[in-house]
Homo-oligomer: A and B are copies of this chain.
Amino acid sequence: MTQLPDSIEDSVISAILGGRLRPGTRLGEAKLAEVYGVSRTRVREAMMRLETRGIVHVSARRGWFVVEPSATEARAAFQARRVIETGMLRDLHTLPGDAVAHLRAHVEEEREALHTGHVGSRTCLLGDFHIHLAHAFGNAFLTDILRDLTARTTLVSMLYQSDQDAAASSDDHAGIVTLLADGDFAGAARLMDEHIRRVEDGLDLAAAPDPLAGLREILSPGAPA
């Protein structure tokens, strides 16, 4: 379903969406250059582009890091998504003929991923729903903006998620598609508002961003201190 990324940026973003890159992960220029088989120049360019999109940031002479949104930024990212996505649905009058079918198919994919239990593709699909919805709306700018915001909220979820009920999210998505199919755009907007709020409220923003992100995977099999 997801075509393999052709650029370094897409590759990094899809790794984030799929949960393979965690917030705070260091992305060394030399290492990436080797991985992608290009020179540091290209890697640097890609990193700078990702920086202006708010996906990574650079710490002077230390390296590039996947952003670790603060509690404030986490709230703001979800609010931004809520504002844009509900605004979009409220502005909606008609949808392209095949849009509902595509969205329904996507929700079906989500369901399957829920059952097979593959966490990576599940997270990725749940985020993709919103991007597909934006795509159906047909505004390229909003689609791009939401893609970046979704990447950020995915990072937020990795940092602050308490339980993040994936099944409930997918149910919301299904409900939204049903309302869209009925032409009840205002209703869809309301449900979208609740949906994003629900995810947002499920976050534990008091949880301090894990300063040991990189260590965890190495230490996780060991006994607690």
Binding site for B on A (CB under 8 A): 45, 48-49, 51-54, 73, 76-77, 79-80, 82-84, 86-88, 90-91, 139-142, 145, 149, 152
Contact = CB atoms under 8 A, between A and B. Distances in A.
Contacts of A77: 141
A80 B45 contact: no
A87 B87 CA distance: 5
A83 B76 contact: no
Given A48-B49, A73-B140, 16 more contacts: A45-B48, A49-B49, A49-B52, A52-B52, A76-B140, A80-B139, A80-B141, A82-B91, A83-B87, A83-B91, A83-B142, A84-B87, A86-B87, A86-B91, A87-B90, A141-B149
A195 to B, nearest CB: 15
Contacts of A141: 54, 73, 76-77, 80, 149, 152
A77 B145 CA distance: 12
Contacts of A73: 140-141
B84 A83 contact: yes
Contacts of A49: 48-49, 51-52
Contact of A145 (B87, B139, B145): B145
A8 B43 CA distance: 22
Contacts of A142: 76, 79-80, 83
Most buried by B among A45, A77, A80, A90: A80
A84 B79 CA distance: 11
A159 to B, nearest CB: 17
Contacts of A86: 87, 90-91
